[in-house]
């Protein structure tokens, strides 16, 4: 053991863990850490002037780099500002070590907030450290918990005395954990019995497919079964979107989804079965029909069988599990079963072509609209994208148009926000660029979400992070209007008069281009769709942060 102050123990542990960036916004209680950082030029502090930006950067950086990111916020006030996007990180399992600095423990009688308790329900593990000797141990566990499946954010509160006092410490990083837990052999056998014997199986995929590197295994299972494939969560590449059996996202818990799945007799769910973020549920509270048998694979045992009656629950690594299911299916499928699978695959491909034709018809019908339609916007955007571009998607209601115009087959080419809080995209785009400095990163953001963390434009300019933001500026909270219409139809049964959409229109439209220029980011307003592709190419080639403020039709 060696003697050092707690604040230097923090820095030494960050260096031992290979941390390159500290994302944060400091306050008075963070002064000891900011002082210590002066002696560690290899660790760069990335200043966010709003805590949601720091959380978005850390979320995307951790996911894209494959290692836990590190965030430091200011006591209860800064932590509170970051909680909304901490919720998203927890919902999606993003590997983040979040910290805040608290008052001295001797200030107990004067009033101290329990920061650990504030963060607890949105983290895998939450602790307060009040002695310097405990700092390396706490940080080691925080990094270990964050990166061990099921991954997720952790939280440490450092008291002021723990940072300035001196203690005896061992600077040892978290260990590498070999966490590919293989599935139970009997579970694989039972799962294959259900799937191989099904007449109309369906596959539901979530983010742990992509996170575990199981895309190829998922494709193999789908092709052996010839099944339709839907995504319950798609905030990274979990299945090639160009694959003829992939039919896009599906939202569980709603009547239309139950109708879609009503004819299936077996479902293989790989990953988190639902996002658990709904405006309301449409009773009955079941995702699948009573006669549908469910095989659920996920590395988080607490999610397996959590909401749906489950015939076979496999709490194991998705890649290992899907690989073993594929091998067993390949051996079990008879000639007649393979012929039936080929017929199902052809039906799925036909269904996909029909959906594409409908989307293409909608695109053509809205091609000359003014303001431009979201469909036209995304078609033009696709023309200007570099081949190696990474998309950060935070455009909620424009996402269907984006998905129709672009294909995401390469893991690492697409990331999206997770959870229900708006504001991920501004910081998320920056975090992806820091993790991928040699690839162009384009953030496609709704105007409402962008405004939640518009201060990210300052960070982009101050740090000269060459990202391109493309804003879908429709002047409304369109997702709220969509949900209001659904509420009136499903809950009020269409008996209520048309909505006035109170609080859902921006009476003063956001001048995102003007705002970008004010922050020092190149901003350009685009109303003519033919300007979009060349403007995007120009913005990428600048090698500086830029924003394209694209005015689109708000029509429902």
Among 94-103, 267-276, 325-334, 400-409, the range scoring the smallest mean pLDDT is 267-276
Q: Which pLDDT does position 255 carry in this prediction?
A: 65
**CA dist., res. 399 & res. 466, Å (int):** 23
Token output for 159: 């008291």
pLDDT, tens digit (0-9, with 9 covering 90-100), for 344-360? 999 999 999 999 999 99
334 and 417 both lie in a single domain: no
pLDDT, tens digit (0-9, with 9 covering 90-100), for 267-285? 999 998 765 445 555 555 6
**CA dist., res. 229 & res. 247, Å (int):** 6
Q: What is the mean pLDDT of residues 33-39?
A: 97
Is the CA virtual torsion 209, 211, 212, 213 positive or negative? positive
41 and 107 both lie in a single domain: yes
Point out the domain boundary residue: 138, 169, 200.
169
Residue 176 lies inside a defined structural domain of this protein: no
**CA dist., res. 123 & res. 153, Å (int):** 5
Point out the domain boundary residue: 349, 380, 411.
349
Q: What is the mean pLDDT of residues 92-108?
A: 92
**CA dist., res. 375 & res. 362, Å (int):** 8
User: Has residue 163 got a pLDDT over 70?
Assistant: yes
138 and 214 both lie in a single domain: no
201 and 327 both lie in a single domain: yes
447 and 313 both lie in a single domain: no
**CA dist., res. 419 & res. 436, Å (int):** 24
User: Could you tell me whether strands 293-298 and 312-315 are parallel, antiparallel, or unpaired per DSSP bridges?
Assistant: parallel
**CA dist., res. 425 & res. 453, Å (int):** 8
340 and 379 both lie in a single domain: no
Among 184-188, 223-227, 273-277, 460-464, the range scoring the smallest mean pLDDT is 273-277
Q: Which pLDDT does position 284 carry in this prediction?
A: 55
**CA dist., res. 301 & res. 316, Å (int):** 8
Q: Which pLDDT does position 283 carry in this prediction?
A: 55
User: Has residue 46 got a pLDDT over 90?
Assistant: yes
User: Could you tell me whether strands 312-315 and 390-394 are parallel, antiparallel, or unpaired per DSSP bridges?
Assistant: unpaired
Q: What is the mean pLDDT of residues 329-345?
A: 95
Token output for 379: 């078609």
Is the CA virtual torsion 55, 61, 66, 68 positive or negative? negative
Q: Which residue has the higher pLDDT, 287 or 381?
A: 381
Q: Which pLDDT does position 108 carry in this prediction?
A: 73
Portion of the chain with pLDDT greater than 90, in percent = 85
Q: Residue 49's closest CA among 520, 533, 539?
A: 520
3-state helix, strand, coil in the chain (%, to 5): 45, 20, 35
The whole domain housing 217 covers 185-349
Is the CA virtual torsion 525, 529, 530, 534 positive or negative? positive
Q: How many domains does the chain have?
A: 3
Q: What are phi and psi of 126, to 5 degrees?
A: -140, 135
Residue 501 lies inside a defined structural domain of this protein: no
**CA dist., res. 13 & res. 34, Å (int):** 15
pLDDT, tens digit (0-9, with 9 covering 90-100), for 357-397? 999 999 999 999 999 999 999 999 999 999 999 999 999 89
Is the CA virtual torsion 164, 166, 171, 173 positive or negative? negative
Q: Please, what's the b/e burial string for 438-474 (b: 16 or more CB within 10 A of its CB; e: otherwise)? A: eebbbbbbbbbbbbbbbbbbbbbbebebbbbbbbbbb
Beta bridge partners of 270: 205, 297
405 and 540 both lie in a single domain: yes
Q: Which pLDDT does position 248 carry in this prediction?
A: 94
Mean pLDDT of the chain: 94
Residue 361 lies inside a defined structural domain of this protein: no
Point out the domain boundary residue: 169, 204, 239.
169
E strand or H helix at 393, and its extent? Answer: strand 390-394
Q: Which pLDDT does position 94 carry in this prediction?
A: 97
Q: Which pLDDT does position 521 carry in this prediction?
A: 98
**CA dist., res. 394 & res. 96, Å (int):** 20
Residue 404 lies inside a defined structural domain of this protein: yes
User: Has residue 542 got a pLDDT over 70?
Assistant: yes
Cβ–Cβ < 8 Å for 295, 267: yes
Q: Which residue has the higher pLDDT, 279 or 242?
A: 242
Q: Residue 241's closest CA among 392, 413, 405, 409?
A: 409
Residue 480 lies inside a defined structural domain of this protein: no
Token output for 399: 């996402």
E strand or H helix at 54, and its extent? Answer: helix 51-65
**CA dist., res. 82 & res. 452, Å (int):** 12
Q: What is the CATH number of the domain that holds 110?
A: 3.40.50.970
Residue 71 lies inside a defined structural domain of this protein: yes
Q: Which pLDDT does position 452 carry in this prediction?
A: 96
Among 79-83, 173-177, 451-455, the range scoring the smallest mean pLDDT is 173-177
221 and 130 both lie in a single domain: no
The total of other beta-carbon atoms located within 10 Å of residue 534's CB is 12
User: Could you tell me whether strands 166-169 and 2-5 are parallel, antiparallel, or unpaired per DSSP bridges?
Assistant: antiparallel
User: Has residue 203 got a pLDDT over 70?
Assistant: yes
322 and 380 both lie in a single domain: no
Residue 72 lies inside a defined structural domain of this protein: yes
Q: What are phi and psi of 423, to 5 degrees?
A: 115, 0
pLDDT, tens digit (0-9, with 9 covering 90-100), for 409-454? 999 999 999 988 999 999 999 999 999 999 999 999 999 999 999 9
426 and 290 both lie in a single domain: no
285 and 137 both lie in a single domain: no
CA end-to-end span of the chain: 65
Q: What is the CATH number of the domain that holds 221?
A: 3.40.50.1220
Residue 306 lies inside a defined structural domain of this protein: yes
E strand or H helix at 337, and its extent? Answer: helix 335-365
120 and 238 both lie in a single domain: no
Owner of token pair 């694989």: 188
Owner of token pair 């269409």: 494
**CA dist., res. 380 & res. 285, Å (int):** 41
Q: Please, what's the b/e burial string for 208-231 (b: 16 or more CB within 10 A of its CB; e: otherwise)? A: bbbbbebbebbbbbbbbbbbbbbb
3-state secondary structure of 214: coil
**CA dist., res. 64 & res. 85, Å (int):** 17
Angle at 124 between CA 164 and CA 34, to 5 degrees: 25
Token output for 314: 């496999």
How deeply is 417 buried, as exposed, middle or buried, from its count of CB atoms within 10 A (0-12, 13-18, 19+)?
buried
């Amino acid at each position: 053991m060696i003697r050092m102050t707690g604040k230097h123990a923090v820095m030494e542990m960050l260096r031992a863990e290979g941390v390159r960036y500290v994302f944060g916004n400091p306050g008075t209680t963070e002064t000891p850490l900011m002082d210590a950082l002066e002696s560690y030029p290899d660790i760069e502090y990335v200043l966010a002037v709003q805590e949601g930006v720091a959380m978005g950067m850390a979320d995307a950086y951790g996911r894209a780099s494959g290692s836990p990111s590190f965030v430091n916020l200011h006591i209860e006030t800064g932590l509170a500002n970051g909680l909304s996007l901490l919720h998203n990180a927890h919902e999606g399992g993003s590997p983040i070590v979040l910290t805040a600095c608290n008052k001295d423990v001797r200030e107990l009688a004067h009033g101290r907030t329990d920061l650990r308790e504030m963060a607890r329900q949105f983290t895998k593990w939450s602790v307060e450290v009040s002695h310097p000797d405990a700092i390396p141990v706490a940080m080691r566990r925080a990094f270990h918990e964050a990166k061990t499946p099921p991954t997720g954010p952790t939280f440490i509160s450092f008291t002021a005395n723990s940072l300035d006092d001196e203690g005896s410490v061992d600077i040892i990083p978290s260990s590498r954990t070999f966490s590919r837990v293989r599935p139970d052999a009997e579970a694989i056998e039972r799962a294959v019995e259900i799937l191989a014997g099904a007449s109309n199986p369906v596959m539901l995929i979530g983010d742990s497919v992509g996170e575990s590197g199981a895309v190829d295994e998922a494709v193999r299972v789908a092709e052996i079964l010839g099944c339709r494939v839907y995504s319950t969560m798609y905030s990274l590449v979990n299945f090639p979107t160009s694959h003829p059996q992939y039919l896009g996202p599906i939202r569980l818990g709603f009547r239309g989804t139950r109708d879609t799945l009503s004819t299936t007799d077996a479902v293989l769910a790989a990953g988190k079965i639902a996002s658990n973020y709904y405006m309301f549920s449409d009773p009955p509270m079941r995702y699948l029909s009573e006669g549908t048998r469910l095989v659920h694979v996920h590395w988080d045992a607490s999610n397996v069988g959590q909401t749906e009656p489950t015939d076979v629950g496999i709490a194991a690594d998705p890649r290992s599990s899907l690989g073993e299911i594929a091998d067993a299916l390949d051996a079990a499928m008879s000639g007649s079963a393979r012929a039936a699978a080929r017929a199902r695959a052809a039906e799925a491909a036909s269904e996909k072509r029909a959906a594409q034709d409908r989307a293409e018809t909608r695109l053509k019908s809205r091609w000359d609209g003014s303001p431009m339609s979201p469909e036209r916007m995304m078609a033009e955007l696709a023309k200007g994208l570099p081949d190696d571009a990474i998309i950060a998607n935070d455009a909620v209601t424009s996402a269907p148009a984006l998905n129709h115009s672009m294909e995401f087959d390469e893991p690492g080419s697409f990331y999206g926000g997770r959870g229900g809080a708006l504001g991920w995209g501004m910081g998320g785009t920056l975090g992806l660029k820091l993790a991928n400095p040699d690839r162009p990163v384009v953030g496609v953001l709704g105007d409402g979400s962008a405004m939640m963390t518009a201060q990210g434009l300052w960070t982009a300019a101050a740090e000269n992070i060459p990202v391109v933001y493309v804003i879908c500026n429709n002047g409304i909270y369109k997702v709220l209007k969509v949900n209001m219409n659904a509420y009136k139809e499903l809950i009020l049964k269409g008996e209520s008069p048309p909505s006035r959409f109170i609080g859902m229109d921006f009476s003063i439209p956001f001048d995102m281009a003007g705002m970008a220029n004010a922050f020092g980011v190149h901003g350009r307003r685009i109303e003519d769709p033919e300007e979009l592709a060349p403007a995007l190419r120009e913005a990428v080639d600048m090698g500086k942060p830029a924003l394209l403020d694209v005015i689109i039709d708000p029509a429902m």
